[in-house]
Amino acid sequence: MFSKKTEELGKPEVDENQPLLRVRDLSVVFRTREGSAQAVNKVDLDLARGQTLAILGESGSGKSVSAKAIMGILDMPPAEITSGTIEFRGKDLLTMPEKERRLYRGQRIAMVFQDALSALNPVYTVGEQIGELFQVHRGLSRKDSKKKAIEMMDRVRIPGAAARVGDYPHQFSGGMRQRIMIAMAIALDPDIIIADEPTTALDVTVQAQIMELLAEMRRETGSGLILITHDLGVVAETADVISVMYAGRTVEHGPAVDVFANPAHPYTVGLMESMPRLTGAGDRLYAIPGLPPSLLNIPAGCPFAPRCPRAEDICRQDPPPPAVQLDGIRYAACHFAEEVVSHGIH
């Protein structure tokens, strides 16, 4: 675990004038025995410094696969990136050699995983796991890296960090484990933090603590945050920009305030209306009929058409334009995006 085989240490140099993250035309296919599953289909994403981008979608929408592709931790095979570029400060991560890519992973782009208990190694202490980052990437000694680990645990406000640095992951509660994950993510001061469902396994009270901590870390370090979630509430509280994914495609993209106030894609409208709210109780929830399509067999035309109350013949035949531009930086992949914005879907 503590091999120091890394020949190069330290952060790769980057051109600060280039955009932080620019993903274009990203497609990921999983080759399975049943056929090819198009998990991500021509996705574009942009992230600026200090910005929070939320990728919203249900299971199978491609949100986690996109994140893993950006992080460079897709299992290939079965996954295969069939098209696209992922540019970090102008350098395409997909074409660079793995040796160079390693330097970006963790130091420039870091990830917080959903399930901290399975993401952490159960047979090493949390101190060893946080410290490993400093040993591998910074060449620190065991002793110094332990000091660094305590420092990081303090930063994410784990009480009694010095006393708990030798504890194992199972000795921490779910919320504390997620703090350790965050400590590991921010340890090398990355420019981008990707948080994949960071609070799904947690209680609401702890969720509030963790989201607050993530926001604080983003403010402190000025890094960009990609938040992957299906929780509309969490998105509303933290995101600057939202990308809504469905069946591997981005179906809507825009500033959080606008998307929530006036969704432009019928799927987004459906999501908003199907969510029970804490205030104001309707008698009946709107339920999007049917199920998301199988990725092995995405319908021709618009993938949402079979479930869409607004669908017309054209939706079942022709794929919608990938990005109908609405006001400003809002896009929706819908034949009737403008009508949906102004009149809803009913």
Contacts to another protein by CB under 8 A: 58-59, 159, 173-176, 203-209, 211-212, 230-237, 239, 256-257, 260-261, 270-272, 274-278, 281-282, 284-289, 291-292
Nearer residue to another protein within complex by CB, 41 or 238 = 238
Taking the C-alpha atoms of residue 224 and residue 122, their distance in angstroms, rounded to an integer, is 30
DSSP-derived secondary structure for 232-245: HHHHHHH-SEEEEE
Give min distance, CB of 202 to another protein, in A. 9
Q: In what order do the strands lie in the sheet with 324-325?
A: 109-112, 192-196, 224-229, 52-56, 241-246, 249-255, 331-332, 324-325
Residue with the two structure tokens 């910074």: 138
Supply angle C-alpha 121, 66, 261, rounded to 5: 115
Residue 86 C-beta: closest distance to another protein, Å: 27
Cβ at position 57, least distance to another protein in Å: 9
Least separation in angstroms between residue 63's CB and another protein is 12
Nearer CB in complex with another protein: 110/333: 333
Residue with smaller CB distance to another protein, 131 or 254: 254
| CA 227 – CA 230 distance, rounded (Å) | 10
Give least dist CB 107 to another protein, A.
31
Closer by beta carbon to another protein, 82 or else 200? 200
CB of 17 or CB of 279, closer to another protein: 279
Handedness of CA 92, 9, 113, 46 (dihedral sign): negative
